[in-house]
Each structure stands twice: as C-alpha cells, then as structure tokens.
C-alpha cells in the first residue's frame, strides 16, 4: 500500500516486492543517516533480491546431466535472451544487482534528464543491443516519480524493436504509475514500495531524496 495512507489496492500491472529483507534494506536506504557507500551497497542488494521476483517466469527446459552420483534429467533456463536497460544515471545504481543475478545478460543505456521547469524528459544518449526484438528487456531506474522518463525510455525501446518489456524501480509514486500504465499498459511494473505522492517539485514523498545524488555522492 502507499506509505502514509490507509490500506489501498495495488494498481493493476504493479507488483510490490515486499519480502521482509527488501523492506528492511529499503528502510535503511530511505534514512538520511545512511552514508553514500552504504546507500550504494543497499541499492545493489535490493535490486538483486527484486530480480528473483522479476525473473520468476523465465521458461525452463529439461537437460541431461551427470551428478557425482548418477545421471539425471534436470532443468535449466531455456536460453531466453535477456537485456537490462539502465536509465542514466541513477539506473546504474540498481543495474549491478541484476547483473550479479544474470551475468550473461546484455546491457543497454538510455540517457535522459528532466527539464527543471517542465519536468519533461530530454534524451541525450541511447545505446542498446541490435537484436532487441528477440530479448526480454528489463528497464531499471530507482525512482518512478512523474513517470515521464520511464514512459519515454520504453517508447524509445519499442521503436528499437523491444516487445517484451518489464520496468523495475525501488520506489514508485501513484502519479508515475498512472502515467506509465497509461502510456504502456503492456509493461508490468515491479517496485519495492508505492509511496504516498509527489510534491510540488516532483519528488516522491516520503521517498528517499534524489537517488542519483545519494548513489554518487554529488550533493
């Protein structure tokens, strides 16, 4: 449920990963007292834990193997091609945990910054694998605030051929969820928390502040 409100229904297409370890680490992440190094480590750890839920529907196939004791038929991931897309710069803060989980995945980056007046996203960088149509694409960004950057990034990825897309963040605002679900109703959202609201500066409340600045110690 949104933090600071009464109990509400989770919006359609949104999965809140509320494992106790995720909640515990997110509490530490939110705290103003958490220093940069710990913030960076916690963000990576949470993203790895969330990855288990995000990728739980990966298809499996049977394979013949030899254990130290005997032959058997076991199961392994079918070989679905994965691509993690980081929305710069803060997305890199939760990209690492995902890569730890699936080291063979391809990586892409989309550079967007938010206009300080209009809050609209402006693209300055785009580099992704060529065969996006063949890949399950996981887009990562710590905060889903207004939703405009996430929606713009996914629109750009679809133009590049991506069809199977999921979006992962640490904290989402109801306003951002509404924007992203309206723009891309086919893209499921995974988040560790759905917070109360945006303030007049488009920051999530109660949130955790500016994720990029806290990750990289730039403020």
Q: What is the DSSP string of the chain?
A: --TTS---PPPTTEEE---HHHHHHHHHHH-TT--HHHHHHHHHHHHHHHHHHHTTT--EEEEEEE-SS-EEEEEEE---EEEEEEEETTTHHHHHHHHHH-TT-EEEEEEEEE-TTT--EEEEEEE--S-GGGEEEEEE-SEESSSHHHHHHHHHHHHTT--EEEEEEEEE-HHHHHHHHHH-TTS-EEEEEE-SEE-TTS-EESS-S-HHHHHHT--
Each residue's pLDDT tens digit, 142-162: 999 999 999 999 999 999 999
Summary mean pLDDT of the chain: 91
Residue 5 lies in a domain: no
What residue numbers does the annotated binding site for uracil cover?
204, 209-211
Do the beta carbons of residue 165 and residue 198 sit within 8 Å?
Answer: no
Instruction: Assess whether pLDDT exceeds 50 at residue 54.
Output: yes
Tally Cβ neighbours within 10 Å of residue 116: 8
Instruction: Assess whether pLDDT exceeds 70 at residue 177.
Output: yes
What residue numbers does the annotated binding site for 5-phospho-alpha-D-ribose 1-diphosphate cover?
89, 114, 141-149, 210
- Cα 185 to Cα 3, 13, 165, 196: the distances in Å are 24, 8, 11, 22
CATH number (domain holding residue 36): 3.40.50.2020
Instruction: Assess whether pLDDT exceeds 60 at residue 114.
Output: yes
pLDDT mean over 186-198: 97
Residue 4 lies in a domain: no
* Predicted TM-score (pTM) of this structure: 0.90
Rounded to whole angstroms, how far apart are CA atoms 46 and 155? 26
pLDDT mean over 85-108: 92
Percent of the chain with pLDDT over 70: 95
Total domains in the chain come to 1
Pairing of strands 189-194, 14-16: parallel
Do the beta carbons of residue 144 and residue 23 sit within 8 Å?
Answer: no
Residue 2 lies in a domain: no
Rounded to whole angstroms, how far apart are CA atoms 141 and 215? 12
Parent domain of 63: 14-216
Structure tokens at 200: 């007049």
What residue numbers does the annotated binding site cover?
89, 114, 141-149, 204, 209-211
pLDDT mean over 40-65: 94
Pairing of strands 121-127, 204-205: unpaired
What is the C-alpha end-to-end distance of the chain, expressed in Å? 30
Residue 96 lies in a domain: yes
Do the beta carbons of residue 150 and residue 139 sit within 8 Å?
Answer: yes
């Amino acid at each position: 449920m949104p933090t600071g409100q009464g109990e509400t229904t989770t919006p359609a297409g949104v999965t809140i990963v509320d494992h106790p370890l995720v909640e515990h680490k997110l509490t530490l992440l939110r705290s103003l007292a958490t220093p940069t190094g710990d913030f960076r480590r916690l963000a990576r750890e949470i993203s790895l834990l969330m990855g288990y839920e995000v990728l739980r529907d990966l298809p499996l196939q049977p394979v013949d193997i030899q254990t130290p004791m005997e032959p058997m038929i076991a199961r392994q991931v079918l070989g679905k091609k994965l691509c993690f897309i980081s929305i710069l710069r803060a997305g890199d803060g939760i990209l690492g945990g995902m890569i730890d989980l699936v080291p063979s995945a391809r990586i892409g980056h989309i550079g967007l910054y938010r206009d300080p007046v209009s809050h609209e996203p402006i693209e300055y960088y785009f580099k992704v694998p060529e065969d996006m149509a063949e890949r399950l694409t996981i887009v990562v960004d710590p905060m889903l605030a207004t939703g405009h950057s996430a929606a713009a990034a996914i629109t750009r990825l679809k133009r590049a051929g991506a069809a199977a897309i999921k979006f992962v963040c640490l904290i989402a605002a109801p306003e951002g969820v509404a924007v992203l679900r309206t723009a891309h109703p086919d893209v499921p959202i995974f988040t560790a928390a759905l917070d109360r609201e945006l303030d007049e500066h488009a920051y999530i409340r109660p949130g955790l502040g500016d994720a990029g600045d806290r990750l990289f110690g730039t403020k």
